[in-house]
Structure 1
Amino acid sequence: MDWDKLRIFHAVAEAGSFTHAGDQLNLSQSAVSRQISALEDSLNVTLFHRHARGLILTEQGELLYRTAHEIFGKLSMVEAQLAESKDRPRGALKITTTVAFGSTWLAPRMREFIELYPDIETHLILADRELDLSMREADVAIRLSPPRQADLVQRHLLTVHINIYASPHYLKKSSSPASAKDLDKHRLVVYGEDARPPVPDVNWLLRIGNDSGQLRKPALTVNNVYGVMRAVQAGAGLGALPEFMAQGSSDLVQVLPELTGPTIDAYFVYPEELRSSKRIQVFRDFLLRHVTAQRF
């Protein structure tokens, strides 16, 4: 099988069109189309259904795409390992974590890391969906739940508690609640129901201290924890937030400190193949140093 044609096929399958794949590969649409046709002729199968709105993989195309995707992912991982210096960590390091943790805790600490290791090309990928590390969508992840893949190395980083916060502006207008029952009198900002919640019982604020058994009606729902924090900071109401988001913030005040929500365990995760990578080792040690120095 022609590797160059396979590379072009993989790009087309990812892009969903000859034109978009050509833009990525710096080839014309017609050149890409010819290469795909030649690959189909050599295999004697149809790889794409062609229609006016784009391309759809056939059953045979799906099989080839899954295999090619795995191969190119493994090759990319090997390339990174070969490029890494024995003496000094270098090369690309793609780090993924959630929007909330990445924006509020990790990103502010990355200045020190890039100054310590200028030869590492550091990329933060903040997404609330889990990227596939085995396919090199990222090299390492900080995940707020145990990894489900058996071939991933995991290291417990920290346990985070969730507390109730409000802005000073909001508390000036509405007196601070003295008990859980008082939450009935306050505007509550909670996680939306139209997305997968980041932790079990994420909206515990709606039920705690409510003797009726019915959930309180929230004033605002946001399907992202970072968005909940921003709304609370702006005075929209009370919200339950991980403590790492509130530490050091002058516009978030903890209320009802005796009440805490579900805990979150954060893990540092990476593929087994990268266990000996110096980039991974120095970033892991960097994280552990900051977690140890941080009071959670």
Structure 2
Amino acid sequence: MDWDKLRIFHAVADAGSLTHAGDLLHLSQSAVSRQIRGLEESLNATLFHRHARGLILTEQGELLFDATRAMMKRLDAATARIRDSEEEVFGELRVTTTVGFGTLWLAPRLPKLFERYPDLNIDLMLEESVLDLPMREADVAIRMKEPSQADLIRKRLMSVHMRLYATKAYIEKFGEPKEMSDLEDHRLICQNPSAAQVGAGATLVAQLMAEGVPSKLSVNNYFGVLQGVLHNVGLGVLPDYLANDFPELVRVIPEVESSEVPVFLAYPEELRHSQRIAAFRDFVQEEIIAYRKNIKNQ
């Protein structure tokens, strides 16, 4: 099968338009149309339905597009490996992690990484859903559970527990709850039970709600929960890694704690020799070590 025709087909399917694909490929619309027509003739199949608002893939077109999309992702991975220098770190690195960990722990530390590698570009993809690393939806992931996908290199970074926090100012004004029964005098701030989150956090919130908490503020991510706590709206269920970066947080009712949540870094086996991934992996591990030292010294 003619690779050039497949490349043009993929661009048209992705853009949904002969004109837009031509602009991207620096080809005329008629040239793109001829290539698509030639591909359809060679396959003896119709790949697109022509519609007033653009092109729509037929069932056969969808099958071919799935194949070319996988091919393109493999080519991107190969290109990244080829471009990786043995001595320099540069280019784009797509990192995926959860909204909470990405905004509250990782992003504030990235300036150090950019100081070390000024030619590195980070595309930070904050998703509660798990992206497919072998299919190159991202290059490297930090996940709140051990990855189950095959062909991944994985390393356990640390463990997290969900705990109950308030600010010093809140405690001075409203008093410090000492035991679970004291929750009936306070407002609880937590992730919305319907929001995507680690099971350990959802289980802890369910246990706390069973104590008859009279008022609740629910948010769909931990960044929102943290903002509520910092502004003294109530007591918040938050990951323990925040206590080190936000000294105004005070842990309350020490027996309130979720089960252990493992944090893993993972990346595809085919990117084992990527200098960009090695730089990011080593940086994150250094920051984890520094984080642990700070916790021990407190």
Q: Tell me which interval the TM-score lies in, with the shorter structure as reference length.
A: 0.7 to 0.9
**Aligned residue for 2:94?**
94
- Per the TM alignment, residue 12 of structure 1 is displaced from its structure 2 partner at its CA by 3.8
Q: Identity of paired residues, percent? A: 48
Structure 2 letter corresponding to 1:9: F
The answer on 1:271 being equivalent to 2:254 is no
In structure 2, which of residues 224, 242, 247 is the aligned counterpart of residue 245 of structure 1? 242
SS, match of residue 70 in structure 1: helix
Distance 1:222 1:88, change over 3 A: same
- Per the TM alignment, residue 30 of structure 1 is displaced from its structure 2 partner at its CA by 6.9
Judge conservation of contact 2:19–2:29 (CA < 8 Å) in 1.
yes
CA RMSD between the two structures: 2.8
Judge conservation of contact 1:191–1:203 (CA < 8 Å) in 2.
no
**Aligned residue for 1:128?**
128
- Per the TM alignment, residue 108 of structure 1 is displaced from its structure 2 partner at its CA by 1.6
- Per the TM alignment, residue 206 of structure 1 is displaced from its structure 2 partner at its CA by 4.1
In the alignment, the residues of structure 2 paired with residue 256 and residue 22 of structure 1 have an alpha-carbon distance, to the nearest angstrom, of 63
SS, match of residue 156 in structure 2: strand
**Which range is displaced more, 40-49 or 77-86?**
40-49
In the alignment, the residues of structure 2 paired with residue 160 and residue 52 of structure 1 have an alpha-carbon distance, to the nearest angstrom, of 53
Distance 1:237 1:87, change over 3 A: same
Aligned residues: 293
- Per the TM alignment, residue 109 of structure 1 is displaced from its structure 2 partner at its CA by 1.5
**Which range is displaced more, 218-227 or 44-53?**
44-53
Distance 1:107 1:37, change over 3 A: same
- Per the TM alignment, residue 28 of structure 1 is displaced from its structure 2 partner at its CA by 7.0
Distance 1:14 1:184, change over 3 A: farther
CA deviation string 1:55-107 (max 9, x = no partner): 54322122111211111111111111111112333332222211211111111
Judge conservation of contact 1:114–1:122 (CA < 8 Å) in 2.
no
Gaps of 5+ in 2: none
In structure 1, which of residues 249, 260, 263 is the aligned counterpart of residue 257 of structure 2? 260
**Aligned residue for 1:289?**
286
**Aligned residue for 2:196?**
196
CA deviation string 1:232-287 (max 9, x = no partner): 22222211111123322144332112321232111110000111222222222221
- TM-score w.r.t. the length of structure 2 is 0.85
Distance 1:217 1:8, change over 3 A: farther
SS, match of residue 45 in structure 2: coil
**Aligned residue for 2:70?**
70
- TM-score w.r.t. the length of structure 1 is 0.86
In structure 2, which of residues 229, 239, 251 is the aligned counterpart of residue 232 of structure 1? 229
Gaps of 5+ in 1: none
Judge conservation of contact 1:47–1:61 (CA < 8 Å) in 2.
yes
SS, match of residue 265 in structure 1: strand
In the alignment, the residues of structure 1 paired with residue 31 and residue 165 of structure 2 have an alpha-carbon distance, to the nearest angstrom, of 58
SS, match of residue 258 in structure 1: coil
Judge conservation of contact 1:165–1:239 (CA < 8 Å) in 2.
yes
SS, match of residue 199 in structure 2: coil
**Aligned residue for 1:152?**
152
Judge conservation of contact 2:186–2:214 (CA < 8 Å) in 1.
no
**Aligned residue for 2:116?**
116
**Which range is displaced more, 263-272 or 22-31?**
22-31
Distance 1:39 1:246, change over 3 A: farther
SS, match of residue 118 in structure 2: coil
SS, match of residue 202 in structure 1: helix
Judge conservation of contact 2:204–2:257 (CA < 8 Å) in 1.
no
